[in-house]
Amino acid sequence: MARVRHLVRTLVPFLVGAAAFAFILNSVVAAQHLPEYGSWTGIRPLEGKLQKLDRFASHGRVDALVLGSSISDFGFSAKLLSEQMTAATGKPYRVFNLSTGAAELATMPTLYRLARTVAKPRTLLITVPEEIKRPNVISPLSPDYILRKAPIGTAIAHPWLFPFEKWFFDIPLVHYGAPFRDRLVFGRYVHLASQGSDDYAMDDFGDSVSLSYQTSRADLSALRVSHDTMLVPLTQHRMSTWSQHAKLEYYFNDLDIDAMAQLRKLTAADGCQIVIIAHEVASDYYPAPITDPAYVRLHHQFFTILANQLHARLIVAGESFKAQQYMIMDSVHLNAYGADAFTRLIAAALTPSIAKPASQPVVKFPTLPDTPSSDVTLGNFAALVEAPKQKGALTLRLQILRNQAIPPLPDVSLRVMLRLPDNTDISAPARLTSATTIEATFAALPPGPNQMFLVRIVYEAGGRLAAQNQPVAAYTWSK
Amino acid sequence: MLFQTPTFLIFFLVFLPFYLVARRRHAVPLVVLAASQVFYGWWDWRFLFLLWTTIFTDFFLAQRVAATDVVWKRKLFLATSFTISLSLLGFFKYWNFFVATAVFARLPGAGAAHIPSLVLPVGISFYTFQSLSYIFDVYRGVHEPERNLVTYAAFVSYFPQLIAGPIQRVGHLLPQLVQPAPVTVERVLSGLALFAYGFFLKAVGDAIAQLINPVFSNLDHAPPSTVVASIFGFGLQIYFDFNGYSQMARGISRVLGIELTTNFRAPYLATSFRQFWTRWHITLSQWLRDYVYIPLGGNRVGSLMRYRNLMLTMLIGGLWHGAGWNFVIWGGLHGTYLVANTAFDQSWLSRSAAALPKALRAGLGWAVTFVGVMYAWLYFRIGTFHGAVTANRKIYEWLTSGHLWPWSVPSGLALLVGVVLVIDLVRRNAADIFPTELVGSRLALAVGGLAGGFFTVGLILLAATPAQQFIYFQF
């Protein structure tokens, strides 16, 4: 008894002291506003999305989860699908987009397991393009490679660890330890490398939002031609005589096939239905979907085999999707306008009560110069905005991004410049109303609907206007 | 297997129950030996053969040394042991250095010599010296030879100190392996606290490295003041890194009820070079004193011979650290410092300086020692002739620039370094920062708070950065 009392008397104060320090430091870290470092997964945007999904799930059930690569990260709108499904069903329907850059089929089980640490969706929308069968290796710099090398790699090897690791890495001291250290020790975020995703906003539904266009018609044609001819479909005879496994092996590698088995098992355990959505690179939709019969046959074969293997419903709505140039960010990705148009088609295919959109309206927009352009008022982030519906003097308020990758606006007089559908430029002095909002008032504008303007922030240099490269996250028109 | 990695934590947690059972059955050496083989073999199991060659050689030859009174036979056995151990060390550690030097000097036939790409067996310098000290002590009659091979092998390969010391003497470690002290809650908590402090030191060292490594990899284009700051930074880094390792090793061992010798005692507060070497890498400097300096004649000879002994001892010490001329220069510089220090102490200058106020003398002594030690680190860090010349040129440019303090040290890092130096100041004469009796006192809450603080801050410092090897693993 005396030994136990001695043990307690010595151990308790020591442990209390140790825990107290950790608790205080944890509270200090939790109170800071620190950037995401991706300390668990090694992929900053993905971990940022997971945090968003956590908040999203805390406000209600997650009905559907979108998984895919950057094609669906930019080119699919969970926000719009939520709105459309809610309106059609008469009850809240909530969709979250957990797509992440460069994800492949083999990545999907990990993404799904990550999502499950927060919420179990009723529907899983797997949004993928058809691809050439890859070798059975995880290529360096692929998300799978990074995930396996990151701390989450232990949970990927032993999936029962996922909830424990999620809990551990949600502790502020653990999750934000690295940025806190950088700020405290080095005075700046020395380990926070800028990356492409920093240039785009993300909405509360997990969609990456791009209002920009960054390509040329030549780029679009080049990728489309190569994509058109890179695969050979199975002959009719083989399709009818080969086993499902043989057909599967024709299109998919072992990593993909293993991922499908994992997904089937996981979703079956959760009572979650899988829907496969065929979604191609942007150039395949411009100026109209590819109609080459061999390609169309291959397209169908690929997705039918995939859907059969996953016991999934298949939606191949893209065959009727024509992307206009203002809907395209670059040759691979749609921008926010393209994402909306594509999502409307998917919503209609998902639920019969949503009418399929009538043929796309003719939208007038200025000629989009090839990028990079000799026009110095055009930077990488010239944004497309819809024309206002009202008439008279209107104020355009632009919400701009600000993070470690984007320097703050310079302290010079800025202007907001619009290119109208008739290719004339007008500009107005800009006012900075906060660190992330800038606005300008235009006296008279041609009113919408079905018109787009090309907007950019410019500054005067040597008597000329030049682009201030500033990504636009959102915009509003007001009187 | 690095102490600060989850792999080691798992290893230790698996080892612990076996160890506790072994204590009751008086089988500690056997369990420690088995664990040490796993620990060492984890890095590269093939080098276990090398370790065992040293163990077998010194174990059996020590028996032969003790078994005979014939002087020449005793000397022969001792020389055989030294030859075998030093040959292994020489081949694996110094072969490339010898051949490269011969080629550089254009010695006949050197050009045709094959330079194999040898991997340096980790910790070879440490366990070779530890084993040699044993046979030397047996030869001198200081210690009886160990009759049990398992116990002796456990002594040479004791995992907490196998890779980078502290180098232990047979009289200190071996009895503890046979009969460790009781595992009390105070001892365990004190060990954990010591480990936490070492972990923190290692983390601060790594943080400093992140600032200075880019400078050393681009010396030619770095501003002079940055180069000077980085040399001082390296001096701090190596202290935090090696002291951190030593504290972690001692902490782990204390949990097991086995005390390891202190390796550092506030070295950067030393007020003379002689004092520095009683505070820096204490176990090595004592080894060099007892097995090199004293056998050479030590202080019992005339001044010139004494200076020679000092210089030779430090040159060997330099070469022990690494197979490169930069380490020889580093050792030579410290030899010169010690010779100058001794000469000063024996001269009329010292007697004149005695008239100065004690604080002023100490301050001057500290400044000269600190700057001298920091300057010598330059050769430790920069392994090339061109690099050393460039660094010296940058130091000259800095000294003649008129802007002696244009450094910008991140305040957070300065604060962390300051914490360590204040601890050194407060505990400069203590064996360690968290002695066992402190945990059992009313200060347990504060000790727990400090330990938790060191560990938590260490974790944050190392967060999202790959585990870095300890600098002394290469020696």
Cα torsion A94, A99, A100, A106: sign: positive
A chain contacts of residue B207, beta-carbon cutoff 8 Å: 181, 185-186
**The complex's ipTM?**
0.73
Among B residues 448-467, those touching chain A with beta carbons less than 8 Å apart: 448-453, 455-457, 459-461, 463-465
Alpha carbons A185 and A224: distance in angstroms, whole number = 49
CB contact under 8 A, B452 and A11: no
Of the candidates A137, A138, A133, A144, the one whose C-alpha atom is nearest the C-alpha of residue A305 is A133
CB contact under 8 A, B460 and A18: no
pLDDT of residue A445: 84
Alpha carbons A51 and A41: distance in angstroms, whole number = 12
Distance to chain A for B370, nearest Cα, Å: 24
The rounded percent of chain B whose pLDDT value lies above 90 is 52
Does A143 share its domain with A271? yes
Structure tokens at B196: 């936490």
pLDDT confidence band for B396 (50 / 70 / 90): very high
Alpha-carbon separation of residue A238 from A128, A297, B241 (angstroms): 24, 13, 65
Nearest to A186 among B410, B439, B464 (CB): B410
pLDDT of residue B406: 66
B434 and chain A: CB distance < 8 Å anywhere? no
pLDDT of residue A100: 94
Distance to chain A for B78, nearest Cα, Å: 49
A chain contacts of residue B205, beta-carbon cutoff 8 Å: none
**A220 touches A283 (CB < 8 A):** yes
pLDDT of residue A404: 79
Among B residues 285-324, those touching chain A with beta carbons less than 8 Å apart: none
Judge whether A14 lies within some domain: no
Nearest to A173 among B440, B451, B456 (CB): B456
Phi, psi of B116 (to 5 degrees): -75, 155
The rounded percent of chain B whose pLDDT value lies above 70 is 94
Domain boundaries, chain B: 6-180, 186-474
CB contact under 8 A, A18 and B452: yes
Distance to chain B for A6, nearest Cα, Å: 9
Alpha carbons B196 and B455: distance in angstroms, whole number = 5
Alpha carbons A281 and A214: distance in angstroms, whole number = 15
Most confident of A275-289, A349-363, B1-15: A275-289
The domain spanning residue A75 has which CATH number?
3.40.50.1110
> Taking the CA of residue B367 as centre, how many other CA atoms within 13 Å lie in the half-sphere pointing to its CB?
6
* pLDDT mean over B58-79: 91
Structure tokens at B423: 């601890």
pLDDT of residue B334: 96
Q: What is the mean pLDDT of chain A?
A: 90
SS3 A383: strand
pLDDT of residue B470: 58
Total beta-carbon pairs less than 8 A apart between chain A and chain B: 92
Judge whether A367 lies within some domain: no
**A207 touches A335 (CB < 8 A):** no
Nearest to A187 among B411, B439, B452 (CB): B411
Judge whether A15 lies within some domain: no
SS3 A217: helix
A chain contacts of residue B445, beta-carbon cutoff 8 Å: 13-14, 16-17
pLDDT of residue B244: 93
CB contact under 8 A, B457 and A185: no
Judge whether A6 lies within some domain: no
pLDDT of residue A103: 92
pLDDT of residue B117: 61
Does A407 share its domain with A310? no
DSSP-derived secondary structure letter, A198? G
B chain contacts of residue A39, beta-carbon cutoff 8 Å: 463-464
pLDDT confidence band for B118 (50 / 70 / 90): low
A chain contacts of residue B460, beta-carbon cutoff 8 Å: 25, 173, 177-178, 180-181, 184
Task: Give residue A451's domain range.
Answer: 383-478
Distance to chain A for B317, nearest Cα, Å: 35
Cα torsion B140, B144, B147, B149: sign: negative
* pLDDT mean over B330-348: 92
Helix/strand/coil (H, E, C) string of chain B?
CCCCCHHHHHHHHHHHHHHHHHHHCCCHHHHHHHHHHHHHHHHHHHHHHHHHHHHHHHHHHHHHHHHCCCHHHHHHHHHHHHHHHHHHHHHHHHHHHHHHHHHHCCCCCHHHCCCCCCCCCCCHHHHHHHHHHHHHHHHHCCCCCCCCHHHHHHHHHCHHHHCCCCCCCHHHHHHHHHCCCCCCHHHHHHHHHHHHHHHHHHHHHHHHHHHHHHHHCCHHHCCHHHHHHHHHHHHHHHHHHHHHHHHHHHHHHHHCCCCCCCCCCCHHHCCCHHHHCCCCCHHHHHHHHHHHHCCCCCCCCCHHHHHHHHHHHHHHHHHHHCCCHHHHHHHHHHHHHHHHHHHHHHCHHHHHHCCCCHHHHHHHHHHHHHHHHHHHHHHHHCCCHHHHHHHHHHHHHHHCCCCCCCCCCCHHHHHHHHHHHHHHHHCCCCCCCCCHHHHCCCCHHHHHHHHHHHHHHHHHHHCCCCCCCCHHHHC
The domain spanning residue A446 has which CATH number?
2.60.40.10
In terms of CA atoms, which chain A residue is nearest residue B186? A10
Structure tokens at A191: 């380990």
Alpha carbons A302 and A248: distance in angstroms, whole number = 9
pLDDT of residue B109: 65
Condensed to tens digits (0 to 9), the pLDDT of residues B264-308 reads: 999 999 999 999 999 999 999 999 999 999 999 988 888 899 999
Does A292 share its domain with A410? no
pLDDT confidence band for B34 (50 / 70 / 90): very high
pLDDT of residue B20: 92
DSSP calls for A350-379: H-TTSPPPPSPPP-B------SS-S-TT--
Does A326 share its domain with A466? no
A268 and chain B: CB distance < 8 Å anywhere? no
With a CB cutoff of 8 Å and minimum separation 6, the contacts of A5 are none
Nearest to B459 among A10, A37, A177 (CB): A177
Condensed to tens digits (0 to 9), the pLDDT of residues A344-354 reads: 999 999 988 88
Condensed to tens digits (0 to 9), the pLDDT of residues B450-462 reads: 899 999 888 888 8
Of the candidates A298, A331, A345, the one whose C-alpha atom is nearest the C-alpha of residue A127 is A345
Structure tokens at A294: 């061999």
**Cβ atoms within 10 Å of B82's Cβ, excluding its own:** 17
Cis check for the bond before A357: say yes or no (omega within 30 of 0): no
Condensed to tens digits (0 to 9), the pLDDT of residues A309-357 reads: 999 999 998 888 999 999 999 999 999 999 999 999 999 999 888 877 7
Alpha carbons A384 and A405: distance in angstroms, whole number = 22
Nearest to A7 among B185, B457, B463 (CB): B185
CB contact under 8 A, B189 and A22: no
DSSP calls for A98-136: ---TT--GGGHHHHHHHHHTT---SEEEEEE---PPPPS
B439 and chain A: CB distance < 8 Å anywhere? yes
Of the candidates B206, B119, B234, B238, the one whose C-alpha atom is nearest the C-alpha of residue B466 is B206
CB contact under 8 A, A21 and B456: yes
CA B364, distance to chain mean position in Å, is 27
Q: Which of B26, B114, B172, B321 is catalytic?
A: B321
Burial class (CB in 10 A: 0-12, 13-18, 19+), B105: exposed
Does A135 share its domain with A254? yes
Nearest to A19 among B447, B452, B460 (CB): B452
pLDDT at position B467 over 80: no
Condensed to tens digits (0 to 9), the pLDDT of residues A214-247 reads: 777 778 887 777 766 667 888 888 988 999 999 9
Does A257 share its domain with A195? yes
Q: Is B321 a catalytic residue?
A: yes
A16 and chain B: CB distance < 8 Å anywhere? yes
Total domains in chain A come to 2
Cα-only R_g, chain B? 23
The rounded percent of chain A whose pLDDT value lies above 70 is 99
Of the candidates A158, A66, A155, the one whose C-alpha atom is nearest the C-alpha of residue A108 is A66
A chain contacts of residue B461, beta-carbon cutoff 8 Å: 181, 185
B chain contacts of residue A6, beta-carbon cutoff 8 Å: 185
pLDDT at position A110 over 90: yes
Condensed to tens digits (0 to 9), the pLDDT of residues A6-49 reads: 788 888 888 888 899 889 999 999 999 999 999 899 999 999 99
B179 and chain A: CB distance < 8 Å anywhere? no
Q: Which of A126-135, A278-287, A410-419, B114-123 has the lowest mean pLDDT?
A: B114-123
Q: Which amino acid is at B45?
A: W
* pLDDT mean over B250-256: 94
Does A252 share its domain with A331? yes
pLDDT of residue B111: 60
**A109 touches A95 (CB < 8 A):** no
* pLDDT mean over A160-173: 93
Phi, psi of A108 (to 5 degrees): -60, -45
CB contact under 8 A, B456 and A185: no
pLDDT at position A209 over 70: yes
Phi, psi of B10 (to 5 degrees): -65, -45
Nearest to B463 among A10, A181, A183 (CB): A181
**A435 touches A348 (CB < 8 A):** no
pLDDT at position B36 over 60: yes
Which of A5, A9, A12, A14 is the best residue to mutate to test the B interface, defined by the most B CB atoms within 10 Å of its own CB?
A14
B chain contacts of residue A7, beta-carbon cutoff 8 Å: 185
Q: Which residue has the higher pLDDT, B105 or B420?
A: B420
Judge whether A141 lies within some domain: yes
A160 and chain B: CB distance < 8 Å anywhere? no
Q: What is the mean pLDDT of chain B?
A: 87
pLDDT at position A194 over 90: no
Among A residues 98-117, those touching chain B with beta carbons less than 8 Å apart: none
pLDDT of residue B468: 56
pLDDT confidence band for B472 (50 / 70 / 90): low
Which of B183, B185, B240 is the best residue to mutate to test the A interface, defined by the most A CB atoms within 10 Å of its own CB?
B185
pLDDT of residue B6: 79
- pTM exceeding 0.90: no
pLDDT at position B196 over 80: yes
With a CB cutoff of 8 Å and minimum separation 6, the contacts of A470 are A379, A381, A400, A401, A406, A409, A457
Question: Could you give the angle at the alpha carbon of B58 between the alpha carbons of B53 and B61, nearest 5°?
Answer: 120
pLDDT of residue B464: 63
**A334 touches A328 (CB < 8 A):** yes
A185 and chain B: CB distance < 8 Å anywhere? yes
Alpha carbons B66 and B431: distance in angstroms, whole number = 34
Tokens 């003790």 appear where? B66
pLDDT of residue B466: 54
CA A348, distance to chain mean position in Å, is 22
